[in-house]
Amino acid sequence: MTGERGRGAHVLDAVVQVIAERGLEAATMRNVAAGAGISLAQVQYYFRSKEELVAAAFHHVTQSFDEKLATVDLSGSPRKVLRDALELWLPLDEPRARDARVWLAFSAAAATSEALKDIAAATDHELRVAFARLLDAAVAEGQLTEVVDTESEAALLLAVVDGLVMQALALPSPARRAFLAQSLDTHLGRLFQT
């Protein structure tokens, strides 16, 4: 497989666009070629099968999210840093809604695809670890007096975010921001009790 940021990046961008617009089932080699404005043979040059193409696209999406996550300002309080990181994930605007639709398509497919399951599990593990570290910092600063197990709390936080994403995408676009802000603030308020 060619590196996601290397020569096949334009193909992977086309896969993501096809999935965002029409779902994972539409991410055929032919549709991706059309989306990238290249021949089917060129797509096959980079990826031998649809399975390989889709797995590479999932890696591509997770790398893009990791790059966004790296932009979060870590100098604030653990609660603010955590909220800023979570907002990257939530469909608060159209680009993030597009990313969320793509992520949900991959996540659903991961339930039956070993290749995608491994990618999803690794990504979820990284997120739980990152959330747990922020929660550990909050505990150390006395902001989380009721939290005993930050790893379990991080897993619950990831589940809350996943649920909020799904619920928000079912709402009309104008209603999403208020729903997400209120729901996230309510959950963080219970967690941090401040």
pTM above 0.85, yes or no: no
pLDDT value, residue 4: 42
158: its two tokens: 């990831």
pLDDT value, residue 5: 46
pLDDT band, residue 148 (cuts 50/70/90)? confident
Cβ proximity of 90 and 184 under 8 Å: yes
Residue 1 pLDDT exceeds 50: no
pLDDT value, residue 187: 93
Question: Quick one: CA torsion of 49, 51, 57, 63, rounded to 10 degrees?
Answer: -120
Amino acid letter at 157? L
Cβ proximity of 60 and 4 under 8 Å: yes
pLDDT value, residue 87: 92
**pLDDT tens profile 74-95:** 898 889 999 999 999 899 999 9
Cβ proximity of 108 and 100 under 8 Å: no
Taking CA 166 as the corner, what is the angle to CA 144 and CA 49, rounded to the nearest 5 degrees?
115
Distinct helix (H) and strand (E) counts, the chain = 9, 0
pLDDT value, residue 6: 57
pLDDT value, residue 194: 59
**pLDDT tens profile 11-57:** 999 999 999 999 999 999 999 999 999 999 999 999 999 999 999 99
Q: Average pLDDT in the 122-135 region?
A: 92
pLDDT band, residue 7 (cuts 50/70/90)? low
